[in-house]
Amino acid sequence: MTSIDKLIANTIREDVRAGHIYNVPDSSGYIKLDAMENPYQLPDALRAELAQRLADAVLNRYPVPSYSGIKERIRAKLGVPAGFDVILGNGSDEIISILCTATARQDKRAVVLAPIPAFVMFQRSAQFAGMDFVGVPLKADFSLDRAAMLAAIAEHKPSLVFLAYPNNPTGNLYDEADMVAIIEALGENGIVVADEAYHPFARTSFMDKLPQYPNLVVMRTLSKLGLAGIRLGYLAAAPALLEQFDKVRPPYNVNVLTQVVAEFALDHVEVLDEQAARLNEARTELAAAMAALPGVTVFPSSANFITLRVPDAEKTCAKLFAERVLIKNLSRMHELLANCIRVTVSTPEENSVFLNALKASLQA
């Protein structure tokens, strides 16, 4: 054992040493359909105007820590109820970390609970905060198992329950009554996080239920709306609860350039909404075309991606990769996702390339 090996063994947590880096594949030269990004940029005129805003950004000073400009626009344009506010994060990932840090109690082992398969950062953030993670399998059709969720809540008494709405990686919306039952079961003993990352495409939300349920918080991101590059997430909650989360938010966690872009984009949010509407139309067309292919099962989606089951996911992904098309192989994530792959809905041109490559992979 070398000196550096001994140093790592003596200082780094065992679970971290045993873990893996979150891998993001190099997409250079590929049609990138693996990360649920909006393929459209802002129109040229708006890009030119934004360039001037960025040129005028004050880079020699720290960001304004209140982020009042962004928050004002989010409250006004993205459906935050009157009397409620938001905190901002460096993407949804940081918001999830903030939630886990604030609820990882030191006097007892705290629990994060979520249906699985789900967004991997729920479990990773719980682990890094020193919390236990309990996953409750979805039903075979990817719907919530309400009875199993309620039983797990009664047994494990979680501090946090994450419910992605719609869910990633399956794409479906959970039944509203099932979600309400979970919120009410936790009551004053736990917080339910409605992760609405794909709200621009689902067009349904629990945001308006915040005044009704004090233990409900709603988390969203601007990434799927078309601003993945600026890494901005936000969380809406009851003001008293939001104050507690804000105590563990790092100072200056949203940089000046992100502030400028976010404020500008939210001033033109109708452009981004129009792009989302185009992607929803393309989603319907792509899903129908894939469902017509032999051996393919397409699952309902309310997001900007579609999950499908093919006869052999490994073979299909390898052939798509050879055609320079990147998609996500879900088959190793969970047994419910056996032979499942996930594709981002994109432009008509990229959807056509993917569809032709998929057809060829199934015929080979």
Q: Which of 196, 208, 207, 200 has its CA nearest to residue 227? A: 200
Give domain 58-268's CATH architecture: 3-Layer(aba) Sandwich (3.40)
The residue type found at 283 is R
**What span, in angstroms and rounded, lies between the C-alpha atoms of 213 and 247?**
22
State pTM to two decimals. 0.95
Which residues contact residue 182 at a Cβ distance below 8 angstroms, ignoring those fewer than 6 apart?
144, 146, 149, 150, 153, 161, 163, 192
CATH of domain 3-43+270-363: 3.90.1150.10
Q: Does the pLDDT at position 228 exceed 80? A: yes
Per the prediction, the chain carries an average pLDDT of 96
- DSSP alpha helix (H) spans, the chain: 3-11, 14-18, 44-55, 68-77, 91-103, 120-128, 146-156, 176-186, 199-202, 239-246, 256-267, 269-291, 313-322, 348-363
| Residue 112 DSSP one-character state | E
What is the predicted pLDDT for the residue at 65?
79
What is the predicted pLDDT for the residue at 66?
85
Per the DSSP assignment, residues forming a β-bridge with 342 are 307, 328
Judge if 3-43+270-363 and 58-268 fold alike in CATH terms: no
Confidence of residue 20 (pLDDT cuts 50, 70, 90): confident
The residue type found at 312 is D
**What span, in angstroms and rounded, lies between the C-alpha atoms of 117 and 170?**
8
What is the predicted pLDDT for the residue at 107?
85
Confidence of residue 106 (pLDDT cuts 50, 70, 90): confident
pLDDT, tens only, 111-162: 999 999 999 999 999 999 999 999 999 999 999 999 999 999 999 999 999 9
Confidence of residue 364 (pLDDT cuts 50, 70, 90): low
Reading the block at residue 291, the tokens are 């469902």
What is the predicted pLDDT for the residue at 1?
87
Per the DSSP assignment, residues forming a β-bridge with 235 are 87, 219
SS3 readout for 174-227? CCHHHHHHHHHHHHHHCEEEEECCCHHHHCCCCHHHCCCCCCEEEEEECHHHHH
pLDDT, tens only, 154-190: 999 999 999 999 999 999 999 999 999 999 999 999 9
Confidence of residue 27 (pLDDT cuts 50, 70, 90): confident
Looking at residues 336-357, what average pLDDT do you find? 98
Q: Does the pLDDT at position 333 exceed 70? A: yes
pLDDT, tens only, 309-322: 999 999 999 999 99
Residue-range domain boundaries for the chain? 3-43+270-363, 58-268
pLDDT, tens only, 48-94: 999 999 999 999 999 987 899 999 999 999 999 999 999 999 999 99
**What span, in angstroms and rounded, lies between the C-alpha atoms of 71 and 77?**
10
